[in-house]
Amino acid sequence: MIKIIKASDFDAIRPVRGETPVEVVESVRNIIKDIIERGDAAVCEYTERFDGCRLESFEVSGAEIDAAMDMVEPVFLAVMERAAENIEEFHRSQIRQGYTITPGDGIVMGQRILPISCAGLYIPGGTAAYPSTVLMNCIPAKLAGVGQIILATPPKADGSIDAGILVAAKIAGADKIYKMGGAQAIAAMAYGTASVPRVDKITGPGNAYVAEAKRQVFGVVGIDMIAGPSDILVIADDKADPSHVAADMLSQCEHGEDSSAILITDSVDLASSVSAEIEKQLMFLPREEIARASIDEQGKIIIVDSIDKAFEISNELAPEHLEIFLDEPFSYLDKVTNAGSVFLGRNTPEAVGDYYAGPNHTIPTYGTAWFSSPLSVDDFIKKSSFTYYTKEALEKASSDIIAFAQNESFEAHANSVAIRHRSED
């Protein structure tokens, strides 16, 4: 049963990611080394070992994608297309342009916005399929203008890929899809093989081995984030419907036993009612065992003296998902300083954002909303600055530049400016 505690008994400390088990670190290191040395052959062997299928080729064919289009129910296809439109509309506003400034005579400076050449998207698969994650990763990449978008997802035991994933990839505009998962997929995309192009950045969630592989290849390629367990925090008052609050909390608990669901309220009655409602709803969940373990181990209801205190605790915890279950929710939005994605009002469950509304569902977890942001078009671009000085502009600034360089004991830097005057003399 979920714990009910007073705020005075709760230490609102930002979550700290624990050490990755040594066996995971070493296993991933060995897999990456093997992929670097043996390429496609190693990918095929790990696919057979971990996914239970032997593949002659792990690139998904056009025929497989066409077959998937016929397998997906037309109603669900239409749902995915509408969701894709919403996601594209939201992310289109994130597209930015470069700029040029002329701060003085003979000086031109600016910034260019350039898409990365190749993005690698990791999509969990095998026992579960997430077409929504395909849309959330691929659409921002497409809008950024990425030259090539490749997608990696683990196959089922029969060597197939979930039809929903393939259809979502086609809708979103992925260029190539590969049947590979785990650390071996991350390594293949990071270093390249005969079949898999080397990418510039890898995005997408995964298990502990995928997360560790992303950590180890960072620097060779860019990554979006190291995802941790999913979490939700709800701030509610005595007007909230307990069944709605409980349902929203449980929506995160079914992700995994390490997922976290927290309610912060100034109502003792609501706390008691939500606790009872959680127990009632748990019995009807297909993933009851997982959700119950999450509630028992990670779940909390925190009773505060005021709603202001609720936001103070929330900002310290920096939740992945924050629901403001209050009247006039926009009046509280400025109180939020640390949260991945905020859901306003009594009729905006977090699931709206997971699948449909448009904001990205790849959100900083484990308190990292203190310093990071949801996946966006910005994750698939790079910025390059440029500077131009005329002879006269350099002469005007030369004494300042030389003084700065010499202060830092970089005489060659200073000389690169001074020599131009000597050459003229």
Catalytic positions: 320-321
**Which ranges constitute the DSSP H helices of 57-159?**
62-71, 74-92, 131-144
**Element at 278 (helix H, strand E):** helix 268-282
**Among the listed residues 379, 271, 277, 369, the one whose alpha carbon sits nearest the alpha carbon of residue 319:** 369
Tokens of 73: 């129910």
| CA-based nearest residue to 217, from 22, 28, 9 | 28
Q: How far apart (Å, rounded) are the C-alpha atoms in residues 254 and 271?
A: 21
Task: Identify whether the C-beta of residue 149 lies closer than 8 Å to the C-beta of residue 173.
Answer: yes
What CA–CA distances, in Å, run from 393 to 46, 82, 263, 334?
60, 54, 61, 45
Among 85, 78, 51, smallest CA distance to 167 is for: 78
Q: What is the CA radius of gyration of the chain?
A: 26
CB atoms within 10 A of CB 373: 16
Beta bridge partners of 59: 178
- Tokens 């915890």 -> residue: 317
Amino acid at 78: A
- The strand ranges marked E within 87-221 are 99-104, 107-115, 118-122, 148-153, 176-179, 201-203
Query: What is the full DSSP assignment across 343-356?
Result: EESTT--HHHHHHT
